[in-house]
């Protein structure tokens, strides 16, 4: 076996770079949105709970998000097989964006919890 045959089977590094640059951002954008969202909520949660006056219900804001994302992940896997992962990712990003607007506009902690639940359902697609 010749040395140049081994190099051809791996493919030139320059040919692999464009594929990486098209796939990597589409994977990282939803994950980045989820991480930034969790960071913002974790930082603002004490102030949110204090302003609504219902500190005992503040934990449900985080718990509803985590439970929804855990339950929805396998469902999104099956739906991705049936309808296509790309289409499902666009729908999930739209739901996540709408739920984020709902979070920002929620006047009560109950509505905020419901909006976080929707965000958890949407973020499971990533």
Burial of residue 93 (CB within 10 Å: 0-12, 13-18, 19+) is middle
Nearest alpha carbon to residue 44 among 104, 121, 114, 1: 104
pLDDT recorded at residue 111: 93
Take residue 35 and report the two structure tokens written for it.
């991480």
Domain residue limits, the chain: 16-123
Q: How far apart are CA 32 and CA 34, in angstroms?
A: 5
The residue count of the chain comes to: 126
pLDDT of 56 reads 84
**Residue 1: which residues within 8 A CB-CB, separation 6 or more?**
none
Q: What is the pLDDT of residue 71?
A: 93
- pLDDT tens across the length of the chain (126 residues): 555 555 555 555 656 677 777 777 777 877 888 788 888 888 888 888 888 888 888 889 889 999 999 999 999 989 989 999 889 988 998 999 999 999 989 988 899 999 999 999 998 887
Task: Tell me the pTM.
Answer: 0.73
pLDDT at 98: 95
Q: Which residue has the tokens 């006047």?
A: 107
pLDDT at 75: 92
Dihedrals phi, psi of 58, to nearest 5 degrees = -65, -35
């Amino acid at each position: 076996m010749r040395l140049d045959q081994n190099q051809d089977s791996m493919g030139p590094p320059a040919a692999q770079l464009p594929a990486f640059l098209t796939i990597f951002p589409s994977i990282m954008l939803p994950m980045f949105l989820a991480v930034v969202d969790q960071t913002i909520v974790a930082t603002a949660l004490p102030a949110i709970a204090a302003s609504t006056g219902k500190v005992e219900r503040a934990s449900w804001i985080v718990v509803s998000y985590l439970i929804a994302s855990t339950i929805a992940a396998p469902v999104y896997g099956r739906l991705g097989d049936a309808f296509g992962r790309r289409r499902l990712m666009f729908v999930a990003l739209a739901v996540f964006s709408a739920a984020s607007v709902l979070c920002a506009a929620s006047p009560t902690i109950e509505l905020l919890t419901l909006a976080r639940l929707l965000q958890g359902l949407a973020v499971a697609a990533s």
